[in-house]
Amino acid sequence: MIFDPRTGEGSVLSDIHPTSHGPRYATRKDFVYGEDITIGEWTVSTENLPRYT
């Protein structure tokens, strides 16, 4: 997970696969703060993440 407290958005990167330039993530799911994010068996709430003001 990557969080950007400036914009209140983030991304979940997953499904690593080999490429000629080394391992890369094949899947990216963007989210906004307040959404619940599921990663494997875990669910992470982003509702109370701090933001830069």
pLDDT band of residue 28 (cuts 50, 70, 90) is very high
50 belongs to a structural domain:
no
The tally of domains found in the chain comes to 1
| Boundaries of domain holding 7 | 2-45
Residue 8 lies in a domain: yes
Contact (Cβ atoms closer than 8 angstroms) between residue 25 and residue 39? no
Does residue 51 belong to any structural domain of this protein?
no
Does 37 fall in a domain?
A: yes
Indicate the pLDDT class of residue 48, thresholds 50, 70 and 90: very high
What long-range pairs does 46-50 form, CB within 8 A, spacing at least 24?
Answer: 46/3, 46/10, 49/3, 49/5, 49/8, 50/5
- Residue 53 lies inside a defined structural domain of this protein: no
Stated pTM of the model: 0.81
